[in-house]
Amino acid sequence: MQRIAVVGGGAAAACVVESLARTVREPCALTVLDGGGPLWRGRAYQPDSGRVLTNIHITQMSLRERDADHALRWLTRRAPGSVDDDGLTSRSLYGAYLDDTASRAWRRLAGRGWRLRTVREHVTRLLPDGDGVSVGTAGGRCERFEHVVLCTGPTVPGDPYGLATSPRYVATPFPLARALATVPPDERVGVLGSGLTALDIVAELVARGHRSAIVLASRGGVLPAVRRRSSPDRPRHLTLTCLERNVAAGKPFRTADLLKLLRDELRTAGVGEAGVLRELALTEPAVERLRRQLRDADDAGLGILRQALHRFAGHAWNLLPDAEKAALWQRHGRAVTSLCCPMPQHRAELLLRLLESGQLQLLGGLSGVVPRPPGGFDLVTRDAVAGVGTLFNALNPAAPGTGAPSVPEVFVTRRLDIGHPLGGLRTDRTTHRVPGAHNGRSGLYALGHSTRGSVLFQFGMPSLVYQSGLVARAIAACTDTPWEPDAPTWSAQGQGDPGG
């Protein structure tokens, strides 16, 4: 019986357990190791205020790789009316979906003869051992597994300004209901970052009746793009077929090839390049960009660019040389993140009202944060200093080249030369297997935060589900009975499952 360990117990682990249950036919021994809070929800989907919503359509958040409506069916049956017109639901309710779906997958595995256990200890050591991996925990355990899946997030939130011990600094904002409970309505509040988490904080503060100023401060001062209402036509050039043709021909894929495919797509659609170049350059003031995107939500060029980023860019990224990845991210990373993590229109309209009224301030060029005794902070930018009371950390830990590594990731990287220059671990694009010593084969796999250099969009549920499917199929190929993609589902699977 093959032994599998899943390191981490959050949303990524829920994806892995569901994928194993639907892919691996032979019974295995499965251990989930996590020393944190409740399993399967992760930090972002804990019980929270019902106003704190997911940021993408529920059909993109199914835990099942080939069943886009699974989460929607679950929510429709368990909580009718909980999905709004934009396809969004509360994070807390989505966390309940993750918990229930992963728990059902766990019980299905048990019913098929799998040996299951959870170990509520933090993993501190991972060491490839022949064709397996030795796992060590903070409690002194040490066991060897044939397959180990590393799916931990950052061990601690990023703290680039050294504020962890400062009074009135909130390092981890979720759950928001708890984090915001003690903020006085007339206190100036600061938020580090200007992405989706920062906007969640702003919206919840306003919903609670906050009256004073809210200051968003970041280095780039870039807001998420506004989600497009409609989808462009099916792409002709920015396709996986075009990429695989390059791979089959043995030609290296370079940045110039990527730009040519984008230009060909725009030309085929009869769209000029100017709008796309403007989006990638981020030369507009943030408020003007927000107004324009609200006004021109169905811009064809912007639609093509977003579609390419969502469906194509991650695969193209895997083929680029490391040096070109670094150069592209340095030049366009903020624009890419903004476009790939858009905000719904109602959130954009709220932000514009707050910005125009002066209650919300957006500061770019953040260079430092100085604690003020006995409490509060000065946010230092290239143009001004803004004083705030409570300060929330909403910095993005997921981008290439950023984010604190987990403890096991640090251990593996130090012992073996398998770290990626942009952060995280190197992984094979078709299996997410981490190479062993001297670039050999290992039984270690990684997904999520630990792949932030190898994988362009390793965050978000669609990516985690896709990555976990690759891992599960790779593990299935190593069991006694090879995985058969067209095989019927097992008789026990799906019985009594209201989301099935």
Q: How many domains is the chain built from? A: 3
206, 350 Cβ separation under 8 angstroms: yes
pLDDT tens figures, 105-130: 999 999 999 999 999 999 888 887 77
Query: For the sheet containing 147-150, what is the strand order?
Result: 115-119, 29-33, 3-7, 147-150, 444-446
Tens digits of per-residue pLDDT, 389-410? 999 999 876 555 455 556 565 5
Residues of the chain with pLDDT under 70: 154-157, 229-232, 397-417, 437-441, 480-500
Q: What is the pLDDT of residue 448?
A: 86
Distances, alpha carbon 113 to alpha carbons 27, 82, 107, 182, 318, in Å = 6, 36, 10, 49, 37
| Residue 151 is assigned to a structural domain of this protein | yes
- Statement to judge: residues 27 and 140 lie in one domain: yes
Q: Is 291 left (phi over 0), alpha (psi -120 to 50) or beta?
A: alpha
**Per-residue model confidence (pLDDT) at position 410:** 55
Residues 406, 266 share a domain: no
**Residue 297 backbone phi and psi in degrees, to 5:** -65, -20
CB distance 16 to 40 below 8 Å:
no
- Residue 240, helix vs strand vs coil: helix
Using alpha carbons, list the distances in angstroms from residue 425 to 409, 436, 443, 457, 469: 7, 11, 14, 14, 18
With b meaning 16 or more CB within 10 Å and e meaning fewer, what string describes 463-472?
Answer: bbbbbbbbbb
Whether residue 461 is found in the same domain as residue 388: no
Both 142 and 14 in one domain: the answer is yes
d(CA 142, CA 121): 12
486 found inside a domain: no
At what angle are helices 274-281 and 322-340 packed, to 10 degrees?
A: 100
Task: Copy the structure tokens of residue 90.
Answer: 């509360």
Helix (H) or strand (E) segment spanning residue 350? helix 345-357
373 and 456 in a single domain? The answer is no
Token pair 């595995």 is at which residue? 109
| Domain harbouring 439, CATH code | 3.50.50.60
Three-class HEC string of 311-327: HHHHHHHHHCCHHHHHH
CB atoms under 10 Å from CB of 40, counted, come to: 28
Residue 323 maps to a domain: yes
Task: Classify residue 89: in a domain, yes or no.
Answer: yes
Q: Does residue 106 sit in the same domain as residue 209? A: no
Q: Is 46 in the same domain as 86?
A: yes
Q: Are 412 and 442 in contact (CB under 8 A)?
A: no
Per-residue model confidence (pLDDT) at position 413: 52
Q: Are residues 275 and 126 in the same domain?
A: no
Whole-number pLDDT of residue 383: 84
Which residue spans within 264-404 are E strands per DSSP?
360-363, 366-371, 377-381, 385-388, 391-393
Q: Are residues 369 and 330 in the same domain?
A: no
Query: Is 489 part of any domain?
Result: no
Does any domain span residue 96?
A: yes
DSSP label at residue 141: -
The label of the residue with tokens 């593996």 reads 412
In a domain, 497, yes or no: no
Determine, yes or no, domain membership for 303: yes
CA distances from 462 to 59, 312, 457, 494 (A): 10, 13, 9, 22
Looking at the structure, do residues 16 and 32 belong to the same domain, yes or no?
yes
> Which domain range does residue 469 map to?
3-156+399-476
Where does a domain end: 355, 373, 393? Answer: 393
- Quick one: pLDDT at residue 417? 62
CB atoms within 10 A of CB 137: 19
Place of tokens 């920015």: 238
- Asked whether residue 450 falls in the same domain as residue 435, the answer is yes
